Amino acid sequence: MYQINFSQPAHIHFIGIGGISMSGLAAILLNRGFSVSGSDSRKSELTEHLASLGAEIFVPQSAANVTGDIGLVVYTAAIHPDNPEYAAAESAGIPMMSRAELLGQLMQNYLTSVAVAGTHGKTTTTSMIAHILMAQDLDPTISVGGILPSIGGNIRIGASDYFLTEACEYTNSFLHLSPTIGLILNIDADHLDFFKDLDDIRHSFRLFAEKIPAEGTLVIHADIPDLDKFTEGLPCRVATFGVGCGDYHAENVTWDDLGCASFDLYAEKQDKDRLLGRFSLRVPGEHNIGNAAAAIACADLLGISGECAAKGFLGFSGTDRRFQKKGVVGGVTVIDDYAHHPTEIRATLSTAKKYPASRIWCVFQPHTYSRTKALLNEFADALSLSDKVVLADIYAARETDSLGVSSSLLRQKVEEAGTEAWYFPTFDEIETFLLEKCAPGDLLITMGAGDVWMIGDRLLGK
């Protein structure tokens, strides 16, 4: 594989530079003196920011963008060999690597690298750890898969030997990483357009655990089924976490009026526990206690005190699209959330039930045909936690075959599960319906990994 010489910056071209992770990596390379160019299908705030940093941005993608002075081309998992720039680079014999391969090589430049893996909760947990590292003044470099207000975006470039990133399992991207601390938050069936089944996903997470060196640590949720399949025989240290279980365990949980938890966190040391402190979260939901326990475990392993971790949590009120309050219109509170898997939907709607509201309306946009078909009944069961469900068309993302599944079929399944549901093919129809049906005191959640957030913004006049 082509090896980047970070002491001799070259010209690197990114195909799909507007992606949340790609844009972050491009910014880091610009900071290191590399010449960066890149293309995408459209301009965005992320591409505009990169242009302000000195990157050359091309819209749309074209073979003409691949010039002879380029030393390396980086591409995302969504880019296929028939992409004009990919084909041009391959024809010209320019070295190429995936986004994950670049991330893996970049991480090798840091003494302490933390990678957060799991099918859910990566962005929130990475953000929690980021706040703790910053509270300790460790000046980390951070790459997060969402917009984190405290760092003004998705990337923070530090001057220390600390690097923090998400580790995505899709297309086995995380197997290109070798973190000194690797976290596994949970493992569910997802990305079934790539993985064959849950066993295939579990196998990949075991391979991720094996990437951690002997001097490193795996931090893993104690409740993962057949936990020893992921930990047995590893050369590295293993630390478990959980709520009421694990080496790092949360106890004595209390809740405020907005569904945010406070809890004690204990760490086992030989034959007795040690109390790391009492922690109060500013993000709601029971699932976030587990995320926070993982973040505290990581902090403790880095020698950061419980007091400092607690300070970090007080400064963290969430990332964009994670139970994000967008505003209030006509007495209706509008929340936006990225949940696009039944486990995430269940966690979000369980959180919403702790929120002071008369009724919960969930406007859900399914993400990819393959996920919707594989988990159709699970989606219906999770969505039935809402009082009312409104469905938008499936967001196809990278897929073209509908596989015979539709939002209309999902609506039928939700109603069979006992919750009133509607389906509309356009956002305009959904907005008109909501304006007519929602009442003061209701909580309206736009939910999904596509562009469903636009509905809430339009209702709020944004």
Six-digit token pair at 425? Answer: 């093919």
d(CA 39, CA 61): 6
Residue 397 Ramachandran class (φ > 0 left, ψ -120 to 50 alpha, else beta): left
Q: Are 148 and 80 in contact (CB under 8 A)?
A: no
Per the annotation, the verdict on 268 as an active-site residue is no
Closest CA to 182 of 146, 210, 203: 210
Secondary structure element (H or E) that encloses residue 324, with its range:
strand 324-329
Count the neighbouring beta carbons within 10 Å of the beta carbon of residue 80: 10
Closest CA to 259 of 174, 327, 353, 193: 353
The single residue of 85, 101, 166, 344 carrying the catalytic annotation is 166
Count the neighbouring beta carbons within 10 Å of the beta carbon of residue 230: 21
Six-digit token pair at 356? Answer: 């002071």
The single residue of 47, 76, 119, 123 carrying the catalytic annotation is 123
Q: Are 142 and 166 in contact (CB under 8 A)?
A: no
Q: How many residues does the chain have?
A: 462
100 contacts: CB under 8 Å, gap ≥ 6 = 77, 168, 171, 173, 174, 175, 176, 177
Six-digit token pair at 300? Answer: 């403790």
Per the annotation, the verdict on 372 as an active-site residue is no
Peptide linkage before 60 cis (omega within 30 of 0)? yes
DSSP result, 92-120: HT--EEEHHHHHHHHHTT-SEEEEEE-SS
d(CA 14, CA 25): 10
d(CA 285, CA 179): 28
Six-digit token pair at 302? Answer: 């880095």
The single residue of 76, 122, 125, 333 carrying the catalytic annotation is 122
Rg over CA atoms, the chain: 22
d(CA 352, CA 101): 38
Per the annotation, the verdict on 231 as an active-site residue is no
What is the rounded (10 degree) CA torsion for 25, 30, 35, 36? 40
Closest CA to 19 of 67, 79, 65: 79
DSSP result, 123-144: HHHHHHHHHHHHHTT---EEEE
Catalytic residues: 122-123, 166
